[in-house]
């Protein structure tokens, strides 16, 4: 079963969940804010996908951070920021058990469809 990580009011997460439902793809939803997220989990994702692929620098959460937090971001700092502010993690994140994908572009949709 696919695990989908995100925030339920995110438009892209809503779109992804509706898409999964439409294709009758089983998934479990994990709400970052409600269910939490561990440092170990984010560290593993950053190691696999790269912290730049995970870190959402376009959202209001990033813009609201102090300049000191946004300066000199490396993997360790990015992980700490994402754990402290889960909205900084790009959404949705899909975990198939064997692979992880971030975002909901055509490439991710194709990979998820291959699993059905």
What DSSP state is assigned to residue 58?
Answer: S
CA distance 42 to 26: 23
The catalytic position among 10, 25, 53, 73 is: 10
Phi first, then psi: give them for residue 48, nearest 5 degrees: -80, -45
CA distance 53 to 45: 9
- For the beta carbon of residue 45, count every other beta carbon within 10 angstroms: 22
From residue 5, how far is each of 63, 67, 68 by CA, in Å? 22, 27, 28
Active site residue 104: no
Active-site amino acid positions:
10
């Amino acid at each position: 079963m696919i695990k989908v990580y995100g925030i339920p009011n995110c438009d892209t997460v809503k779109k992804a969940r509706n898409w999964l439902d439409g294709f009758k793809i089983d998934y479990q939803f994990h709400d970052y804010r409600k269910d939490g997220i561990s440092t170990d989990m984010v560290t593993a994702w950053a190691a696999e996908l790269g912290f730049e692929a995970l870190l959402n620098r376009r959202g209001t959460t990033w813009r609201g951070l102090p300049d000191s937090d946004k300066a000199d971001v490396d993997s360790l700092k990015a992980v700490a920021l994402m754990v402290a502010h889960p909205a900084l993690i790009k959404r949705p994140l899909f975990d198939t058990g064997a692979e992880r994908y971030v975002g909901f572009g055509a490439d991710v949709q194709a990979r998820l469809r291959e699993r059905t």
